[in-house]
Amino acid sequence: MTQKRAGLIGLGAMGAGIAATLRRNGYEVHACDARPGVAAGFAREGGVACGSPADVAKACGIVISVVVNAQQTESVLFGEGGAAAAMQPGSVFVMCSTVDPNWSIALEQRLGAAGIHYIDAPISGGAAKAASGQMTVMSSARPEAYAAAGGVLDAMAGKVYRLGDQAGAGSKVKIINQLLAGVHIAAAAEAMALGLREGVAPEALYEVITHSAGNSWMFENRMAHVLAGDYTPLSAVDIFVKDLGLVLDTARATKFPLPLASTAHQMFMQASTAGYAKEDDAAVIKIFPGIKLP
């Protein structure tokens, strides 16, 4: 029996986890990454290293892109050594980035003109859930795209939501998720900062809140980073500068007010400008004056 095969572009925190999950579920995974040596490291773990997105596309009928944004997705598809020119009609491109829904809709049409199926498939759950196969996929695509992708979406995630029969719906739901995620991180940072300002022991505050009604997944996860004094970026401040910007752009098109998202976006912008752009998004707490962080 021929082993199932999938291609993956981008071996960052989420991409590496997806690649490991696919391999664990019986897929031969061909992968590339823009950073020198990363794909070679993946090959040492049992994957197949490729030199470019085009090489991935030549080897695989299903190509999964796990890069940061629309600009990087454009590059891996249509830039030098891009995947699109090497993809055969009937192959599938799975787009996992957080992007403007209208851009995703246009990409479906652009790839469709070349006979390439497209799945709008933003992801959520973080690196740990990607590696354990428990992340969430918020997808939308034409029925023939789902059919051509076989079981690859179910193989790489714990929850796969099929939200519509064309691109756009997946990205819209991801945008709303990011609104909540960004606001929750900003609110968690504000609460912890107030506790520090008032002299509450941060460990005690964390213990109480995580067992009380005010808790959120983001408070529990991100404020643990603050307590540890560890701002190694799992998701960086600038990710939420981008994602909340997309949220606001989406709402602005229909003149829909988002006061909480707007405030959270300003907080992440302030943190980025203050020099914390590449730190973990929990570093948004560093914008608050007069507190001593752990």
Angstrom distance (rounded) from CA 12 to CA 33: 8
Task: Tell whether the torsion through CA atoms of 102, 103, 107 and 113 is positive or negative.
Answer: positive
Give the position of tokens 């695509």.
Answer: 141
| 242 in catalytic set | no
Angstrom distance (rounded) from CA 259 to CA 255: 12
For residue 285, give the nearest of 216, 208, 225, 235 by alpha carbon.
225
Give the position of tokens 């997946």.
Answer: 170
Structure tokens at 25: 């579920």
CB 139, CB 127: distance < 8 Å? no
CB 62, CB 149: distance < 8 Å? yes
Instruction: Indicate which residue of 172, 174, 242, 286 is catalytic.
Output: 174
> Which residue type occupies 194?
L
Give the position of tokens 């759950």.
Answer: 125
Structure tokens at 182: 């960004």
How many CA atoms, within 13 angstroms, populate the side-chain half-sphere of residue 244?
A: 27
Largest CA distance in the chain: 65
**CA angle, corner 162, sides to 159 and 168, nearest 5?**
120
- The catalytic site residues sit at 174
